[in-house]
Amino acid sequence: MRNNEWFRLGRRLGLSHAESERLVPHVMLLSDALAARCGQGLFVFGVNGAQGSGKSTLAGLLAYALRVRHGLRAAVLSLDDLYLSAHARARLAARVHPLLATRGVPGTHDVALGMRLLRRLGATRLGCVRLPRFDKGQDEPCPRARWPVLSAPLDVLIFEGWCVGVPAQPEAALRVPVNRLEREQDASGVWRAYVNRRLATDYQRLFGRIDALLYLRAPSWRAILRWRMRQEAMLPATARMDRSRLAWFVRHFERLTRHAMQVLPETAQIVFTLDEQHAIGQARYRI
């Protein structure tokens, strides 16, 4: 692959020339490691990273490398594209807890759709499979006619998301609120207990299909907040959250993001450690 191809792809993904130069060598090495692991059947590669960590960009570059560098059939599925509709979440909020109206945490995704999709993408017969897409601006799943069509079976599916591969917390860890949102809007702990229960059950069945996991390790929660705010600033003004609304929104993710920071460096097969400037300072492989 010529460098200019990478830089063109990087521009489409919002990367500067310097960012592409820093990321591309790691993507090439990662694609080589995964290609060596691929054999018979679908290989599911999980990518976990906090909001704003760059997991979607890395996943896009990696799929490109696997296709062009290794001739593999590779695609990307985001956990975000499995979100329930606003109406379904409203019903859940009325039945369990009002905070479940906000998309993001375990319990607000269509896990059954994800399981069916993985089965179809790994089917031995050649066929067409549609990948779901979610419109965050409309807060609704995209119409099925707009879902991209893939030819199955795939060799590699890159499954990325902020809580992909994260285990549930011990019940004792749920007792103390981690932020103002939990103290004021979930004082009884009903919301976080429900989220943890879903994470411990159907989400673990979905994550159990992952063959190897990459964790993008952020230096701190403060850095994650800064990256997420920078990410928001790049959106069109009509779709952008103001600072106070964004601060409220990210509190939904804080508990499990901090939990991931504690457990995934030890359990993930690959860990890319990010510095304050978002660059990969260290890469550890156990694959």
3-state secondary structure labels for all residues of 136-156: CCCCEECCHHHCCEEEECCCE
Cβ–Cβ contacts within 10 Å for residue 273, how many? Answer: 16
> What is the rounded average pLDDT for all residues in the chain?
91
Please give the share of the chain, as a percent, with pLDDT higher than 70.
93
Higher pLDDT, 10 or 192: 192
Helices marked H in 38-142:
55-70, 86-95, 111-121
Least confident window among 49-53, 192-196, 203-207: 49-53
Q: Which tokens go with 236?
A: 């069109």
- Most confident range (mean pLDDT) of 80-84, 136-140, 242-246 is 80-84
Query: Quick one: which of 26, 138, 101, 128 has its CA closest to 252?
Result: 101
Q: Burial code of 35-67, b = ≥16 C-beta within 10 A, e = fewer?
A: beebeeebbbbbbbbbbbbbbbbbbbbbbbbbb
Query: Quick one: which of 268, 270, 208, 267 has its CA closest to 32?
Result: 270
> In angstroms, rounded to a whole number, what is the distance separating the alpha carbons of residues 152 and 123?
7
Whether residue 191 is predicted with pLDDT greater than 90 in this model: the reply is yes
Predicted pLDDT at 229: 84
Whether residue 86 is predicted with pLDDT greater than 80 in this model: the reply is yes
Q: Mind listing the domains of the chain with CATH numbers?
A: 3-285 (3.40.50.300)
Is 210 within 8 Å of 179 (Cβ atoms)? Answer: no
- Average pLDDT rounded to a whole number, residues 226-236: 80
pTM over 0.85: yes
Helix or strand or coil: residue 278? coil
DSSP symbol at 262:
H
- Average pLDDT rounded to a whole number, residues 200-226: 96
Q: Which residue has the tokens 């590669």?
A: 45
3-state secondary structure labels for all residues of 174-203: HCCCCCHHHHHHCCCCHHHHHHHHHHHCHH
- Average pLDDT rounded to a whole number, residues 214-224: 96
Length of the chain, in residues: 287
Interacting residues of 212 by C-beta distance below 8 A, sequence separation 6+: 34, 37, 43, 45, 46, 269, 270, 287
Q: Is 231 exposed, middle or buried (0-12, 13-18, 19+ CB in 10 A)?
A: middle
Please give the share of the chain, as a percent, with pLDDT higher than 90.
73
Predicted pLDDT at 2: 55
β-bridge pairing 127-130 and 156-161: unpaired
Beta bridge partners of 285: 270
> In angstroms, rounded to a whole number, what is the distance separating the alpha carbons of residues 161 and 48?
5
